[in-house]
Amino acid sequence: KIRSWLLIERAVGQQIWLSAMGKKEPKEVVEEKAAEEEEEEPRVSLYVSPLATPLVTDKLLARSLKLIKKSVSEKKTRRGVPECTKAIRKGQQGICFLAGDIFPMDVFAHIPTLCEEKGIYYVYVKSRHELGAACQTRRPISLIMVMEPPADSAYSSTYQQVVAGIKAVHPYM
């Protein structure tokens, strides 16, 4: 019986012969792969839509991402276009964070007009990967709405700071 063998050469210089018939990899190789995944560089967005204004940066971005983390832990968010659209149409108050690197923008081009009609604040974040990281998931997120917290909530002060920052940078609110 002839078996097919596959040669894989690793960056460390060692050569490992693996059977294409499904033999398991040695423990060292599995540990190397896990280390490579941990060292994975953060994804950089190369595209930012020309319609993505106001785009939050610097201190306001850091506060916004902190707000998203806190609200996700308290389950006070709406993720994705259909869920956010439904919440806005129902009249729920909050802040919408939209990813500026989504192509085509037609996917959620109706959200800013809905937000302006209902008096809901919205801003763009540079990358959908930043929104996904703030939600503590590896999956990129195109749109997230943070619901307005009750007065005694843990993130109400952060929410007020972010709203004040959005009022300062937003040309339409």
- If one counts every other C-beta atom within 10 angstroms of the C-beta of residue 52, the result is 19
Beta strands in the chain (DSSP E): 5-9, 15-19, 77-79, 94-99, 121-125, 143-147
pLDDT, one tens digit per residue, over 22-50 is 555 555 554 555 555 555 556 666 777 88
Question: Which amino acid is residue 105, in one-letter code?
Answer: M
Which secondary-structure segment (H or E) carries 120? none
Q: Average pLDDT, whole number, for the chain?
A: 80
CB 130 within 8 A of CB 65: yes
Closest-CA residue to 135 (of 66, 38, 42, 84): 66
pLDDT value for 4 = 47
pLDDT value for 16 = 45
- If one counts every other C-beta atom within 10 angstroms of the C-beta of residue 165, the result is 18
Percent pLDDT > 90 in the chain is: 49
- Encode burial over 26-40: b for 16+ CB neighbours within 10 A, e otherwise: eeebeebeeeeeeee
pLDDT value for 89 = 94
pTM confidence score: 0.73
pLDDT, one tens digit per residue, over 121-133 is 999 999 899 999 9
Instruction: Give the range among 16-20, 40-44, 85-89, 97-101 with minimum mean pLDDT.
Output: 16-20
CA dihedral of 56, 57, 58, 64, whole degrees rounded to 10: 30
